[in-house]
Homo-oligomer: A and B are copies of this chain.
Amino acid sequence: MPETTRRADRPTGSRYGNRPTMKDVAARAGVGLKTVSRVVNGEPGVTPDTERRVQEAIEALGFRRNDSARVLRKGRTASIGLILEDLADPFYGPLSRAVEEVARAHGALLINGSSAEDPEREQELALALCARRVDGLVVIPAGDDHRYLEPEIRAGVATVFVDRPAGRIDADVVLSDNYGGARDGVAHLIAHGHRRIGFIGDMPRIHTAAERLRGYRAAMEDAGISVAERWMSLGATDPERVRRAAEEMLAGPDPVTAVFAGNNRVTVTVVRVLAERARRVALVGFDDFELADLLQPGVTVVAQDSAALGRTAAERLFRQLDGTLVAPERIQLPTRLITRGSGELPPTD
């Protein structure tokens, strides 16, 4: 897209529109992005000749490492946007707060919005925040095609995806190990003697739900257990749907003896269903949640560090704004199994 069209996208002109990027420097110097980054950050591994060429390109283009950050401090209040999926899901509380703390440490305001799991809404909100001149966006994506953000990214809006990957664009992504975490959680139930294990998850088009299902399948396959279709239920996480799914798995001649709940919204409903029953059914949930340890039995969970997700994403965003990042990366954070009782119950059948 030519420069003029790009600028036309931003009605009142962009601070970033004319800012030379590391890519421009690399192109002019005829070197790779990593080399420019090394020179800019004073890292070793660059020959004196290459360094000279990079420095010349930097001077010729007027590239400045902290350009945007310095402009921010001079001009109006810096701000970054965060697009959440659901304002009422407690999982996003610590994540949002962590993003906000990093923003504040960089002198920037955080502005949030929620897509309510609607890709169109996500796009509308992301573009509305860009039109309102946020300097960067942390996105928990609802959609799987983010090419609509390309003009903004080219115009200098820093962008990091968190919790779920970006679709059809090359972008920084910070994820939990959803596959590994679910596999560990299900393997834990298998190690306690369970073979008929149910999986109740979110809608399969959601990356985290699909990855956790994949982890469930892998653990079952590792143990040589063939999975019955009726043990798996993916769909909306409203209590009615989850309750129905749990009750179906728990009924019939060969009921499941354990349930793996695909996220905290599912877990709290499954806890309710199990509390009503005499038969003890084991439970491991993905995501920790408040008071899980005070229930009886305590709920064993695969905990994500949602604050670390937010912090990592936000720090990466500000490194993009500083101009110190080179190529987009995919960062994966580990999960942690926390045993509290519900996941250690033996099968009763």
Contacts and interface: CB of A to CB of B under 8 A. Distances in A.
Interface stretch (A81-89, A208-216, A318-326): A81-89
Give the oligomeric copy count.
2
Interface string A181-200: 00000000000000000000
A125 interface: yes
A167 interface: no
Interface of A: 12, 76-77, 79, 86-90, 93-94, 96-97, 100, 104, 109-114, 116, 124-125, 128-129, 131-133, 268, 271-272, 275, 289-291, 294-296
A90 B97 CA distance: 12
Contacts of A76: 131
Nearest to A12: B12
Contacts of A124: 77, 109
Contact of A93 (B88, B116, B133): B88
Contact of A112 (B111, B132, B133): B111
15 contacts: A76-B131, A77-B124, A87-B112, A90-B290, A93-B93, A104-B116, A109-B113, A109-B125, A109-B128, A111-B132, A271-B291, A271-B294, A291-B291, A291-B295, A294-B295
Contacts of A89: 93
A301 to B, nearest CB: 13
B128 A77 contact: yes
A310 B180 CA distance: 39
B111 A111 contact: yes
Contacts of A128: 77, 79, 109, 111
A163 to B, nearest CB: 15
Nearest to A129: B111
Contacts of A271: 291, 294
A77 B11 CA distance: 14
A91 to B, nearest CB: 10
Q: A96, A110, A291: which has the most chain B beta carbons within 10 Å?
A: A291
A90 B87 contact: no
A20 B104 CA distance: 39
The 6 nearest A-B residue pairs measured at CB:
A88-B93, A112-B112, A132-B132, A87-B96, A88-B97, A87-B97
A110 B113 contact: yes
Given A111-B129, A295-B295, A93 B96 contact: no
Contacts of A294: 271-272, 275, 295
Given A87-B97, A90-B90, A93-B88, A113 B112 contact: yes
A294 B297 CA distance: 11
A263 to B, nearest CB: 14
Contacts of A290: 90, 268, 289-291
A97 B93 contact: no
A61 to B, nearest CB: 31
